[in-house]
Structure 1
Amino acid sequence: MSSTSVTSSAAGRVLVIGIDGTRLDVLRASATPALDTIAEAGFLAPVLIDDATPTWSGPCWATIATGVPATRHGIYGNDFTGHRLADHPDFLTVAAAAGLRSYLSVGSWAPLATTADGGPLFAAPSRLTYSTFGHDCERGDAAAVADAVRVLADEDVHVAFVYLGDPDETAHELGVDADYVAAVERADTRVDLLLAALRSRPMYEAERWTVIAVTDHGHVDEGGHGGDSDVERTAWIAAAGPGIAAGAEVGGLRHVDVAAQVYSVLGLEAQAAALGVEGRVFGAVAAV
């Protein structure tokens, strides 16, 4: 991995919000004004998980973070043991090695941020907040967002990843029902807090922020995933920022495209190429 520094003033900044286990059809039917704002300023589009990737959080988030598929990063379940992340690092670690300030905030799922279960997925961000709430994802999300709001409002951050697990855990416990819809709407409220923190930055307009919200997989009606049904294999990305046209018709999106977009915004295309990132920037997948 290259440690070549970049000139941050020539690039933009990125916030990636990972919302675990959020079905696209439920999202579209729920009251989610913050995510609607992102979609209206850019797009909301489905992602079809490739056939070689199990519909588990581990492999899907690893693909999002590294820009390479499971066949390369080596994560096929929620235990990351045996991964190949040293060869295919996450975008926060790559950004930090390039001299940019990267930030991770996680409130619940340990292997994203710690050595639990073969982790961490995000190996070396410049700044890390992990709150040990285990499977209490609602409390974990609240803690993660509270810290992220402080950091995003006041600190010199170029790229951040904030993880929200409440919708996924709710579906596992209760199925895809009214409680699940409420969890999706709680997640949207937290997205709104993060967006407000960005907008409060004194140099917000000049910093040229891109915001990407993404889910890893869906759920069957009774709750659960890991299979091959359409609702499990359909994920989604919502994004807005410089170079993303409002109302863009975007098709053929893949999870690997998130990392490619992050590297493009940050001016780290050379690092992405050296690592063999397979994704394309969002403009390159817009339907014509």
Structure 2
Amino acid sequence: MTGRHRVPGGVLPVSPALLLALPMVLLAAGCGPRPGTPDVLASRRPSAMAGSAPSLSPHVSMTLVPTPEPTPSSPPPRPKVLVVGLDGVRYDRVLATKAVHFRQLMRAGTFTTGYLDVLEKVHSSSGPGWSTVLTGVTPDKHGVYNNSFVGRQFTKYPDFLTRLETIRPSLHTAAVTAWRYLLDTGAVGALVDWHATGQLKPYEVGAKDAVIVDRMTDLIRASDVDVAFMHLEVTDAVAHRAGVLGPDYRGAIETVDGYLGRLFGAVRARPAFASESWTIIVTTDHGHKDEGGHGGVTPHERMIFLLAAGPGIPQGVRRQGARQVDVAATVFTQLGIPLPESLDGKSLSTIRPIE
């Protein structure tokens, strides 16, 4: 049997096992939000992504280690990729905090910093930033120049999850975002197996992120997900309200750093972790002025970074030249799937450090 719940655009079948494993706050007939918890919409295509969650605290941190070489009698490890998008993060402010999990990932992989190439009409804003991360192509292709998403070309240049579903439908994909415009505009396509997003209503800053992280850690621990994208917004919200130089922004960075630790713990808690090969990618969409705010062309507004660890990605390397288009290319390469010709990026596993 399958349960069903309403999502924008129709009714989708939902496995009861998934609903039990992932206690989502559903907006459906007869279902309402838990007291004190932001509303979240969820949907899922019929391809199963169910399993049983192990008994482990989500706060256990992950020690990233190289995947062991398979023995002749064992199959190669199954590749998995998690992409974490942190909205409006100035990497120089991250480095001014302890950020223990962020630094753990830096030691395990490659940390690339740089600046948005803000072309004519393109704003240093979330719309073009996340569209570039998700599609792996530049704004002149995907057509998003600001947060209106007017002129978007996601049918021609879909997000990397949708491309993977088309190329290899057996892959289990997921997207969880606090900014529902990524779903409403098609920046994350309908082919994605499972997705959740916040509702359009005011919440205490960071409240939606807490639920989003709960859902993603549940999903990672309890399902057969292969490729996932998660987007959090608290850092951007705090920067707009209080700037990036004070304790509020530092606290927001430390909060999302703790979320990274929970995600690492969820990965390690997977029953099949020993036979899997995980790549973790963390990135941002834009920077902020010291006093808060973005959209312009100043260096602080255009600051971006890519941080990735996984098989084949150089360890403990720091380099310049970060490009958002490299995220999608890295996802494909880490999964062992040839890059579509229309992608504009290169995998971080193939880009050598700049001496």
Q: Does TM, scored on the shorter chain, surpass 0.5?
A: yes
Q: 1:206 aligned to 2:275? A: yes
Do the aligned partners of residues 134 and 257 (structure 1) sit closer, same or farther apart at CA in structure 2, a change above 3 Å counting? farther
Q: 1:21 aligned to 2:88? A: yes
Matching residue of 1:101: 172
Do the aligned partners of residues 134 and 95 (structure 1) sit closer, same or farther apart at CA in structure 2, a change above 3 Å counting? farther
Do the aligned partners of residues 110 and 253 (structure 1) sit closer, same or farther apart at CA in structure 2, a change above 3 Å counting? same
TM-score normalised to structure 2 length? 0.74
**Structure 1 residue 284 displacement after superposition:** 2.6
SS at match of 1:196: helix
Structure 1 CA distance, aligned partners of 2:253 and 2:262? 15
Quick one: percent identity of the two aligned structures?
Answer: 35
Structure 2 CA distance, aligned partners of 1:243 and 1:280? 13
Question: Which amino acid is 1:28 matched to?
Answer: L
Structure 2 CA distance, aligned partners of 1:199 and 1:10? 14
Moved more, 278-287 or 66-75: 278-287
Q: What are the Cα deviations for residues 24-57 of structure 1, in whole angstroms up to 9, with x where unaligned?
A: 1101001211111111101222032113142101
Question: Which amino acid is 1:112 matched to?
Answer: L
SS at match of 1:29: coil
SS at match of 2:206: helix
Structure 2 CA distance, aligned partners of 1:56 and 1:120? 17
1:182 equivalent among 245, 251, 255: 251
Structure 1 CA distance, aligned partners of 2:180 and 2:281? 22
Structure 2 CA distance, aligned partners of 1:101 and 1:9? 18
SS at match of 1:202: coil
Structure 1 CA distance, aligned partners of 2:208 and 2:201? 8
SS at match of 2:271: coil
Matching residue of 2:196: 129
SS at match of 1:228: coil
Matching residue of 1:61: 130
RMSD, matched Cα: 1.7
1:14–1:158 contact (8 Å) kept in structure 2:
yes
Counterparts of residues 76-91 of structure 1 (less than 5 Å): 76-91=145-160
Q: What are the Cα deviations for residues 46-70 of structure 1, in whole angstroms up to 9, with x where unaligned?
A: 0321131421011011001011000
Do the aligned partners of residues 150 and 22 (structure 1) sit closer, same or farther apart at CA in structure 2, a change above 3 Å counting? same
Do the aligned partners of residues 17 and 67 (structure 1) sit closer, same or farther apart at CA in structure 2, a change above 3 Å counting? same
Matching residue of 1:110: 180
1:101–1:159 contact (8 Å) kept in structure 2:
yes
Matching residue of 2:24: none
Matching residue of 2:302: 233
2:304–2:322 contact (8 Å) kept in structure 1:
no
Question: Which amino acid is 1:96 matched to?
Answer: E
Q: 1:256 aligned to 2:322? A: no
Matching residue of 2:235: 167
SS at match of 1:279: coil
Q: 1:145 aligned to 2:216? A: no
Whichever of the two has the greater Rg, that structure is 2
Structure 2 CA distance, aligned partners of 1:186 and 1:287? 30
Q: Which runs of 5+ in 1 are unaligned?
A: 1-7
**Structure 1 residue 172 displacement after superposition:** 0.7
Structure 2 CA distance, aligned partners of 1:214 and 1:135? 26
Q: Which runs of 5+ in 2 are unaligned?
A: 1-74
Question: Which amino acid is 1:283 matched to?
Answer: S
Matching residue of 2:99: 32
SS at match of 2:319: coil
SS at match of 2:317: coil
Structure 1 CA distance, aligned partners of 2:182 and 2:93? 25
Do the aligned partners of residues 258 and 246 (structure 1) sit closer, same or farther apart at CA in structure 2, a change above 3 Å counting? same
Structure 1 CA distance, aligned partners of 2:114 and 2:81? 20
**Structure 1 residue 287 displacement after superposition:** 2.1
1:71 equivalent among 110, 120, 140: 140
Question: Which amino acid is 1:15 matched to?
Answer: L
Point out which structure has higher relative CO (alpha carbons under 8 A, 6+ apart).
1
TM-score normalised to structure 1 length? 0.90
Higher strand share: 2
Question: Which amino acid is 1:110 matched to?
Answer: R
Structure 2 CA distance, aligned partners of 1:61 and 1:135? 22
Matching residue of 2:348: 282
Moved more, 220-229 or 197-206: 197-206
Structure 1 CA distance, aligned partners of 2:344 and 2:143? 15
Structure 2 CA distance, aligned partners of 1:180 and 1:287? 31
Q: What are the Cα deviations for residues 52-110 of structure 1, in whole angstroms up to 9, with x where unaligned?
A: 14210110110010110000000011121320010000011112222111101113x12
Structure 1 CA distance, aligned partners of 2:217 and 2:147? 28
